[in-house]
Amino acid sequence: MTVGVSTANLYPMRTEEAFKTLLQAGFRTIEVFINTESEATAEFAAEIREMADSFGARIPSVHSYNSSSEAFLLFSNYQRRLEDGLKRLDQVFCAAQIMGASYVIMHGDRPGGPLSFRESVLRYGQLYDLGQKRGITLLQENVVHYRSAELSYICEMRKLLKEKAQFVFDLKQSVRCGLEPGEVISAMGSGLRHVHISDNDFAHDCLVPGRGKVEYKGLFGALKENGFDGSIIIELYRNNFKNISELVEGYEFLCGIIKNIL
């Protein structure tokens, strides 16, 4: 397991500036959250890759800017809209490929859409195949108000799609869904490839790691039991901390726990 951070922590700072700031703070595993269409271009991706290479950093994953529109574009029953959506998603896959990332993260379908449960799952399979053409694995994140908030949806993905069902586990989102982290991790099982981590307490669902009540030793133990050996990315909101040094403290806190359980 490797601990890193997301550029999303510094939003709304420009993505390239956030990436550089995190590099200068000493981080060497950084997820890139692209925030708009112009950041999904080959030119922008090459700029990010050059910065990463100059610092000896790696980009394990790219979070798609299409999150709010994925259900409308990619899980549509209107073929032309789907085709346009696939072009936009492929741009993200292309950018991820240039950055050297292995994964692209999506929020996916929403409840109440035009596709049935089964059709929705199979559509994800189609999107997954598109990413594979560029050597990129599409990951479904568990997110409140999306179909992935339901354990039954995650389980159906694994049942119908087998090894194509690949996931990101997000701790704060499991809290917002009212689910125990262990339940979500177990449902994702061997398909779990990536983690978004944070802390929480009774009053806050997203805090810097080490400042809440999360029992990380047990959480990381559950990840290990399910064969997870990927990146654990600190993903907070800008109002969850004041200074970059707090992200560094959270990073060092998590690294210490992982070192003791491996």
Tell the burial category of 169 from Cβ atoms under 10 Å away from its Cβ (0-12, 13-18, 19+).
buried
**Residues 63-103: pLDDT tens digits?**
999 998 999 999 999 999 999 999 999 999 999 999 999 99
Q: 162 pLDDT exceeds 90?
A: yes
CA-nearest of 78, 136, 149, 138 to 109 is 149
Q: What is the mean pLDDT of residues 7-22?
A: 98
The pLDDT mean for the chain works out to 97
Q: 254 pLDDT exceeds 90?
A: yes
Amino acid (one-letter) located at 166: Q
Percentage of the chain beyond pLDDT 90 is 98
262 pLDDT band, cuts 50/70/90, is low
Q: What is the mean pLDDT of residues 241-254?
A: 98
Q: 156 pLDDT exceeds 70?
A: yes
Omega before residue 12 within 30° of 0, cis: yes
Locus of tokens 């669902």: 205
- pTM, two decimals, is 0.97
Q: How many CB atoms lie within 10 A of CB 42?
A: 12
Locus of tokens 């917002």: 176
261 pLDDT band, cuts 50/70/90, is confident
Domains of the chain: 2-261 (3.20.20.150)
